[in-house]
Amino acid sequence: MRLNPFNPDTIKVRRGGAGGGRGVRAGGLGCGGIVVVLIGALVFGVDPGQMIGMVEGTQQSLPQRQGPASGGASASEICNDNAYALESCNALTSLDETWAPLFREANIAYDTPSLTFIQGGTVNTACGQATSAMGPFYCPGDQTINIDVGFYDQMASQMGAGGDFARYYVMAHEYGHHVQYMTGLAEQVRSAQQANPREANQLQVRMELQADCYAGVWAGRNRNLIEAGDLEEGMRAANAIGDDTLMRGAGRSVNQESFTHGSSAQRMEWLRKGIQTGDEDQCDTFADLRG
């Protein structure tokens, strides 16, 4: 995938796990947010008035983050550490430029996420201590995508999921979780999981599949940058990290009740749907719960 160079003046990137403190950011709840609230109320059986208050709290109490660089290093220096970091920064710029306008059109307040490169050892995040062994993850506490780029080598060597588009898919998936946080859906799901512990895994799977679809939407909206073989790389990656495939690879029996991200078939299906449609409205992985 031929992504344009990153914009060092707009992306938020740093090394390690340093994060900013919390603050209050002004911002109203747009009409797009109301739509999300009503969908959540129908899915989770929660009073709409409570859901609106929940999302307003999410929108108005976002963390106030510090500058993007760490240790005095500029974004350009951090992003040019290695080829994988450069790819990640290019992807972050493209993702910001794809998603931010959609939020503006829906009148939903939006902050772009930060990207932290974990460089071995243990680092502190707003979600607690993290290590590179955890793999890529999004932390809503400081709206940060955290990644040790060494994970990409593991994808290629251990999972057979190499290629630049496979790596972009990982970034775009984690960015999808930021989209869920900004719309308030992530908080709705967490509350529903607490209220219905037996449904926690099912709800988590739907969250992950929606993030896969959002990753596909980003690619679909940048179709002119897709090269031959990219889609195949994405499908191989989605297949490799499906819960059933990972369980079999670990010598375990496949247990759907233990799924947290979805089967290989499900992950490929939702990634493909996002790519083919380029429409975030098609990523409603909760639709069947409404009957």
| Amino acid found at 70 | S
Which tokens go with 234? 């994405």
User: Does the pLDDT value for residue 69 go beyond 70?
Assistant: no
pLDDT digits 0-9 by tens, 99-126: 999 999 988 889 999 999 987 767 778 8
State the average pLDDT for the chain: 80
Q: Which SS3 state, helix, strand or coil, does residue 130 take?
A: strand
What confidence score (pLDDT) does residue 151 get? 83
pLDDT digits 0-9 by tens, 143-188: 999 998 888 888 888 888 778 889 999 999 999 999 999 999 889 8
What confidence score (pLDDT) does residue 240 get? 87
- Which whole number is the average pLDDT over 76-81? 93
Give the contacts of 240 (CB within 8 A, at least 6 positions apart).
155, 159, 160, 161, 264
Task: State the pLDDT confidence band at 135, using cuts at 50, 70 and 90.
Answer: confident
pLDDT digits 0-9 by tens, 7-49: 999 999 988 744 433 222 222 223 343 344 444 444 444 444 4
Q: Of 66, 83, 214, 209, nearest to 144 (Cα)?
A: 66
User: Does the pLDDT value for residue 134 go beyond 60?
Assistant: yes
User: Does the pLDDT value for residue 68 go beyond 50?
Assistant: no
Gap between the Cα atoms of 86 and 114, Å rounded:
15
Which tokens go with 208? 């992950």
Backbone dihedral region for residue 17 (phi beyond 0: left; psi -120 to 50: alpha; all else: beta): alpha
**280 neighbors 223 (Cβ within 8 angstroms):** no
- The count of residues in the chain is 291
- The alpha-helical segments, DSSP class H, found in the chain are 31-44, 48-60, 75-79, 83-105, 150-159, 164-183, 185-195, 200-220, 230-240, 243-249, 264-277
What confidence score (pLDDT) does residue 71 get? 53
- Which whole number is the average pLDDT over 274-287? 92
What confidence score (pLDDT) does residue 169 get? 93
pLDDT digits 0-9 by tens, 190-217: 888 898 888 888 899 999 999 999 999 9
